[in-house]
Chains A and B, each alone.
Chain A
Amino acid sequence: MENKKIPGSEAVILSLIEENVDIIFGYPGGAMIPIYDSLYDYNDKIRHILTRHEQGLVHAADGYARVTGKPGVCFATSGPGATNLVTGIANAMLDSIPMVCFTGQVGSPLLGTDAFQESDLIGITMPITKWSYQITKAEEVPEAVAKAFYIAQTGRPGPVLIDITKDAQMGMLDWKYEKCTKIRSYVPEAPVDILKIEEAANIIDKAKKPLLLLGQGVIIGRAENELREFIEKTGVPAAWTLLGLSALPTEHPLNVGMLGMHGNYGPNLLTNEADVIIAVGMRFDDRVTGKVSSYAKKAKIIHLEIDPSEINKIVKADVAVIGNSKKSLQLLTDKVKENSHDEWIKEFKKCDDIEYKKVIEKDIHPTKPGLTMGEIVRMASEKTNHEAILVSDVGQHQMINARYFKFKHTRSHVSSGGLGTMGFGLPASMGAQMGMPDRTVFSVSGDGGFQMTIQELGTIEQNKLPIKIIVLNNNFLGMVRQWQQLFFEKRYSFTKLHNPNFIMIAKGYGIEGNKVDKREDLDAAMQKMIDHDGPYVLEVTIEKEDNVFPMVPAGASVSDVMLEP
């Protein structure tokens, strides 16, 4: 039987359909026109979201991937279209987000000639992609795309890039698709070594002050239940990294809070008291460890991790369990003894009380007139019964979001961790809302970051995405200002912002909005936004010079965590 002959451009679309892609985030241009032309015929099978800037589409794909676990798919044209993706690809790489980006490229005879809108995307993105490939012949399309999807979502996920020349889009091939199931040079996950599990279980059984650190690996491995079973059997308290947030419900009795620079007092302070640390799917980022040479010195370190190159990278592991977190945790739970650590957990409670008095109470029940980020974020959480998805931008509010929003469901917190990309929040919330159309999605940004991708209000309106957009306006690049205040004698060098009328801008885009600057108006305004059927921008004027505490100053030890300046 003869196979059907089709152009490479159509093969791209058919390959996406084979991979169960239902949504593409894209922006067309000359080098992508053939693919866009083929897409026109498959409008009923696959949705395409046209953003207002390529940075918007790549973050949207990222947000979509984080809430669904499915790879985000991006289309961008050659040259400037493709280079506009770079920030978003780097962001996805550092946060291990599965993503498949397609970039158009000039015709293959023109490669290397500085042709119009030619840029070497493979070269540019090499250090920030898990894998990349340039297609120069139509017949390469199915295999390359299949490989791209396999690599992006298996093992430790990450972004992959397919650069496809215009002649490859227009050339013909015999259509046949086969999913990729293995690559000889790539082992996505090694089988768990049972001897290591036994070694780890022995240490855990003897521990007096064990602490579990959970990272995004728990979410990626879909190991939330396994994690819960493990801590409930062993009685080990669990603290989370920024990207591990929402894997364990906020109110779980063994959830002791957030690690790192602006994390909770207890988990930071007591990291250096713990005798055993069980790190699951986390990579000891410097924002988590503070000064490594004085980090967790009393503890034996057990590291459960899928990526062997993370073992001993920052912190030496006494026992390294390489493999998928779901399987490792299951095996480990089988081996460990039932236990409880009530006295040890009381130490966390004591720290919580101190933190509450010194920090939290002032943040969420302020007595001063100015509004605080903390009270606003907590109110949003409460008004949605802690069921919502929270998408954050980067800065002070990002830390406040993580500290005060509460979660009942996994994959509900979307935040740019490794790269800390301002401008991430608003576009990522579009992807989150499209991935989870039935859930309430909040996008919470600062006045600085909001303006970095504000143009995506256009995409939100065009697609009627009912996102609840909160802009916390302190007229400052708050996080930088905080450092300037604390460590640079209040020399506020270029951190003050004169802002536009955000509500007028929202209305210009056809989006409803409201501005609040008094506490007594907040509740009603928040309720109105939540009840509103459609997108809504709520701008809140907040205290200008509030700081985020606790804080582990850069380069200090986690046990030097400060509760006040």
Chain B
Amino acid sequence: MQVTKESKMKQEFIITVYSENHIGLLSRITIIFTRRKVNIESLTVSESAIKGIFKFTIVIEETKEQVIKMVGQIEKQIDVLKAFYHTNDEVIYQEIALYKVPIEPIYQSNSIEKIARNAGARILEITRDYVVIEKTGHKNETQALFDELNKFKVMQFIRSGRVALTRDPIERLSEFLKERDAFLDSQNE
């Protein structure tokens, strides 16, 4: 069979995993990457819209071929309902960044409001010592703001893992669960 060139090229992929909540599943999933020496760029775990079902959003840089194989290994885990993979342009995604900047130099330059406004960031807290700014965006955007604020020597900086939604009109998971329940019931008849 032909292997396309595209499938051999490394690029960023977002893998979304839906699971029944089970202690230890996170380890089982991360082992799949670490065993193949694949670095997890970002990882977010949260409860999905459906109660009791958890969603893992994992960002890695790999070839499509590898991603397909790893998604297969993830789906094989007993407690995993379904795993999807997407390229960045197939999803809407964001990360959130927080910046703590010392108050003194900012007052002197008098530019903080403007920087925040231009970057689409908001100010979360101002104290006598520092300002905390929040920005949501893609990594290059949150990084650009970091570079800008670092003129004032950023005291602390944190960027979250990625969260992502597909562009599908329907929630794939609920469709999937309906099909799965119907399938398993039919198997047991």
Contacts and interface: CB of A to CB of B under 8 A. Distances in A.
Contacts of B81: 184-185
Interface in A172-193: 181-187
Interface in A119-147: 122-123, 126-127, 130-132, 134
B187 A182 contact: yes
Interface string B102-137: 000000000000000000000000000000000000
Q: Which of A131, A132, A311, A318 has the most CB of B within 10 A?
A: A131
B151 interface: no
B3 interface: yes
A184 B20 contact: yes
A296 to B, nearest CB: 12
B55 to A, nearest CB: 13
A301 B1 CA distance: 9
Contacts of B169: none
Interface size class of B (residues with CB under 8 A): 20 to 34
A508 interface: no
A307 B78 CA distance: 13
Contacts of A186: 78-79
B35 A308 contact: no
Interface string B149-189: 00000000000000000000000000001001101100110
Nearest to A317: B1
B27 A309 contact: no
Q: Is the interface of B mostly helix, strand, loop or mixed?
A: helix
Interface string A293-322: 000000001000001110111001110000
A151 interface: yes
Contact of B31 (A126, A183, A307): A126
Nearest to B68: A312
B65 to A, nearest CB: 8
Given A312-B68, A313-B69, A185 B35 contact: no
Nearest to A183: B78
Nearest to A181: B188
A308 B80 CA distance: 14
B80 A312 contact: no
B73 interface: yes
Given A182-B187, A184-B20, A317-B1, A309 B78 contact: no
Contact of A127 (B31, B75, B76, B183): B31
A131 B22 CA distance: 11
Contacts of A309: 69, 72-73, 75-76
Contacts of A312: 1, 68-69
A126 B3 contact: no
A200 to B, nearest CB: 14
Nearest to A301: B1
A182 B72 contact: no
Interface in B47-92: 68-69, 72-73, 75-76, 78-81
Interface in B1-45: 1, 3, 19-20, 23-24, 27-28, 31, 35
Nearest to A184: B180
A311 B72 CA distance: 9
A134 B22 CA distance: 11
Contacts of B1: 301, 312, 316-318
Q: Which of A131, A151, A185, A308 has the most CB of B within 10 A?
A: A185
Contacts of A122: 24
Contacts of A151: 78
Contact of B28 (A126, A183, A318): A126
Nearest to A132: B24
A185 B76 CA distance: 9
Nearest to B34: A127
Contacts of B180: 184, 187
Nearest to B181: A184
B35 A127 contact: yes
Contacts of A311: 72
A317 B68 CA distance: 14
Contacts of A308: 72, 75-76
Contact of B27 (A123, A182, A185, A316): A123
Contacts of B79: 131, 185-186
Contact of A126 (B19, B24, B76, B177): B24
Contacts of B69: 309, 312-313
A316 B75 contact: no
Nearest to A131: B78
Interface string A54-70: 00000000000000000
A185 B184 contact: no
Contacts of A187: 180, 183-184
Nearest to B187: A182
A496 B31 CA distance: 38
Contacts of B188: 181-182
B50 to A, nearest CB: 12
A184 B184 CA distance: 7
Given A126-B31, A132-B24, A309-B75, A185 B68 contact: no
A151 B188 CA distance: 15
Contacts of A313: 69, 72
Contacts of B184: 182, 184, 187
Contacts of A131: 78-79
B17 to A, nearest CB: 11
Contact of A185 (B20, B28, B183): B20
Contacts of B68: 312
B72 A185 contact: no
A131 B78 CA distance: 7
A308 B68 CA distance: 11
A105 to B, nearest CB: 14
Interface of B: 1, 3, 19-20, 23-24, 27-28, 31, 35, 68-69, 72-73, 75-76, 78-81, 177, 180-181, 183-184, 187-188
Interface of A: 122-123, 126-127, 130-132, 134, 151, 181-187, 301, 307-309, 311-313, 316-318
A-B interface, 7 closest residue pairs, ranked by CB to CB distance from nearest: A309-B72, A316-B1, A131-B78, A185-B81, A182-B184, A186-B78, A309-B76
10 contacts: A123-B24, A126-B28, A131-B79, A184-B181, A309-B73, A309-B75, A309-B76, A312-B1, A312-B68, A313-B69
Given A131-B79, A308-B72, 16 more contacts: A123-B24, A123-B27, A126-B27, A134-B23, A151-B78, A182-B188, A184-B81, A184-B177, A185-B78, A185-B81, A187-B180, A308-B76, A309-B73, A309-B75, A311-B72, A312-B1
